[in-house]
Amino acid sequence: MTAYAIILAAGQGTRMKSKLYKVLHQVCGKSMVEHVLSQVKELEPDQIVTIVGHGSEKVKETLAGQTEFALQKEQLGTGHAVLQAEKILGQKQGLTIVVCGDTPLFKAATFKQLMAYHQKKRAVATILTAAAPDPTGYGRIIRDQTGDVAKIVEQKDATTQEAAVHEINTGVYCFDNRALFQALHQITNQNAQHEYYLTDVIEIFNRSKQTVAAYKMADFNESMGVNDRVALAQATALMRQRINRRLMENGVTLIDPQTTYIDADVQVGADTVIEPGVVLRGQTVIGRDCLIGAHSQISDSLLADHVTVTASYLEKAQMDYGSDIGPYSHLRPQAKIGPAVHIGNFVEVKKAQIGKGTKVGHLTYVGDATLGQHINVGCGCVFVNYDGVGKHHTNVGDYSFIGSASNMIAPLEIADHAYVAAGSTVTDDVAAHDMAIARGRQVNKKGYYDRYPVAQAAKKAAESEKSKK
Ligand code: UD1
Ligand code: CA
pLDDT tens digits, 64-117: 999 999 999 999 999 999 999 999 999 999 999 999 999 999 999 999 999 999
pLDDT at 389 over 90: yes
Our mutation pick for probing the ligand 1 site, out of 35, 52, 78, 136, counting the most ligand atoms within 8 A of Cβ, is 78
Task: Give me the half-sphere count of Cα atoms (radius 13 Å) on the Cβ side of residue 44.
Answer: 1
Q: Give the ligand whose atoms come closest to the C-alpha of residue 59.
A: 1
pLDDT at 204 over 80: yes
| pLDDT band with cut points at 50, 70 and 90 for residue 354 | very high
- Residue nearest ligand 1's atom 28 by CA: 100
Q: Give the ligand whose atoms come closest to the C-alpha of residue 154.
A: 1
The pLDDT score that the predictor gives to residue 289 is 98
Nearest ligand 1 atom, CA 197? 8
- The predicted model gives 383-397 an average pLDDT of 97
Closest CA to 80 of 51, 107, 100: 51
In 3-state terms, what secondary structure has residue 118?
A: helix
The CA radius of gyration of the chain, in Å to the nearest whole number, is: 32
The pLDDT score that the predictor gives to residue 194 is 97
Alpha-carbon gap, residue 415 to 417, rounded angstroms: 7
Alpha-carbon gap, residue 430 to 415, rounded angstroms: 6
d(CA 102, ligand 2 centre) in Å: 6
Q: Flag the least confident range among 20-34, 147-161, 443-457.
A: 443-457
Backbone phi, psi, residue 117, to 5° = -65, -45
Note the maximum CA span of the chain. 110
Alpha-carbon gap, residue 207 to 209, rounded angstroms: 5
d(CA 413, ligand 1 centre) in Å: 62
d(CA 171, ligand 1 centre) in Å: 7
| Tens digits of residue pLDDT in 400-422 | 999 999 999 999 999 999 999 99
Residues β-bridged to residue 27: 30
Decide: 297 and 313 in contact? Cβ < 8 Å: yes
In 3-state terms, what secondary structure has residue 213?
A: strand
DSSP labels, 56-107:
HHHHHHHHTTSSEEEE-SS---HHHHHHTTHHHHTT--SEEEEEETT-TT--
DSSP labels, 168-209:
EEEEEEEEEHHHHHHHHTT----STT----GGGHHHHHHHTT
Q: What percent of the chain has pLDDT over 90?
A: 96
The pLDDT score that the predictor gives to residue 469 is 76
Nearest ligand 1 atom, CA 103? 14
The pLDDT score that the predictor gives to residue 468 is 86
Alpha-carbon gap, residue 431 to 122, rounded angstroms: 82
- The predicted model gives 123-142 an average pLDDT of 97
Q: Give the ligand whose atoms come closest to the C-alpha of residue 158.
A: 1
10 Å Cβ neighbour count for 36? 26
| Residues whose beta carbons lie less than 5 angstroms from ion ligand 2 | 102, 225, 227
| pLDDT band with cut points at 50, 70 and 90 for residue 1 | confident
Number of helices (H) and strands (E) in the chain: give both, helices first.
10, 37
Alpha-carbon gap, residue 439 to 460, rounded angstroms: 37
The pLDDT score that the predictor gives to residue 11 is 87
Known catalytic residues are: 362
| Tens digits of residue pLDDT in 260-305 | 999 999 999 999 999 999 999 999 999 999 999 999 999 999 999 9
Nearest ligand 1 atom, CA 225? 14
pLDDT at 12 over 90: no
10 Å Cβ neighbour count for 426? 23
Closest CA to 398 of 366, 355, 360, 339: 355
10 Å Cβ neighbour count for 230? 10
d(CA 226, ligand 2 centre) in Å: 6
d(CA 83, ligand 2 centre) in Å: 18
Nearest ligand 1 atom, CA 10? 22
Alpha-carbon gap, residue 181 to 175, rounded angstroms: 10
- The predicted model gives 6-32 an average pLDDT of 95
d(CA 101, ligand 2 centre) in Å: 8
* pTM score, whole prediction: 0.92
Cα four-point dihedral sign 354, 357, 358, 361: positive
Decide: 352 and 368 in contact? Cβ < 8 Å: yes
d(CA 377, ligand 1 centre) in Å: 59
Alpha-carbon gap, residue 443 to 446, rounded angstroms: 10
Backbone phi, psi, residue 263, to 5° = -70, 160
What is the CA 73 to chain-centroid distance, rounded? Answer: 30
Q: What percent of the chain has pLDDT over 70?
A: 100
441 contact partners, CB below 8 Å, separation of at least 6: none
- Residue nearest ligand 1's atom 29 by CA: 8
* Strand duo 26-27 + 30-31: pairing: antiparallel
- The predicted model gives 114-139 an average pLDDT of 97
The pLDDT score that the predictor gives to residue 55 is 87
| pLDDT band with cut points at 50, 70 and 90 for residue 54 | confident
- The predicted model gives 355-381 an average pLDDT of 98
Segment (H or E) for 291: strand 291-292
| Tens digits of residue pLDDT in 223-236 | 999 999 999 999 99
| pLDDT band with cut points at 50, 70 and 90 for residue 460 | very high
Nearest ligand 1 atom, CA 53? 22
| Tens digits of residue pLDDT in 306-351 | 999 999 999 999 999 999 999 999 999 999 999 999 999 999 999 9
Residues β-bridged to residue 47: 4
Nearest ligand 1 atom, CA 196? 8
Report the amino acid identity of residue 22: K
Q: Which residues line ligand 1 (CB under 6 A)?
A: 8-11, 23, 51, 72, 75-78, 80-81, 100-103, 138-139, 152, 154, 168-171, 197-199, 225, 227
